Every structure is written in structure tokens, then in C-alpha cells.
């Protein structure tokens, strides 16, 4: 019975696809977070420059 369990590879493909999907999701989330941080900095710069122009 243990030999049959070790020889059974039917779930291996599903596990590989799940791991691959998880890795892709992590890369996407990391990219979005990086862009969000960059975008936030840009918007803060625009807001401060706009504020300075409005003071004049």
C-alpha cells in the first residue's frame, strides 16, 4: 500500500500548477505594491508643488 502511495503521481500536476499560480500571484502583488508606493510619492510631489503654486 505504501509503495502504491509513493508511485501515485496523479496529484503531482495539480500541486505543481497550484504552486506556479501562487508564485505568479506573489509576483503580481509585489509589482502592484511597488507601483503603488511609487505612485504615492509622485502624487505627494504633485500635491506639494500645487500647494506652493497656489500660495503665490
Q: Which band of pLDDT confidence, cut at 50, 70 and 90, is reported for residue 5?
A: low
Chain-centroid distance of CA 40 in Å reads 17
- pLDDT tens per residue, range 23-54: 999 999 999 988 888 888 899 999 999 998 88
What's residue 6's pLDDT?
Answer: 65
**pTM score over 0.75:** no
Question: Higher model confidence: residue 34 or residue 5?
Answer: 34
The DSSP line for 6-49 is: HH--TTHHHHHHHHHHHHHHHHHHHHHHHHHHHHHHHHHHHHHH
Amino acid at each position: 500500500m505504501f509503495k502504491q502511495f509513493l508511485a501515485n503521481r496523479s496529484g503531482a500536476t495539480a500541486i505543481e500548477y497550484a504552486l506556479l499560480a501562487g508564485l505568479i500571484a506573489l509576483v503580481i502583488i509585489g509589482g502592484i505594491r511597488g507601483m503603488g508606493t511609487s505612485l504615492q510619492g509622485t502624487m505627494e510631489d504633485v500635491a506639494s508643488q500645487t500647494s506652493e503654486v497656489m500660495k503665490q
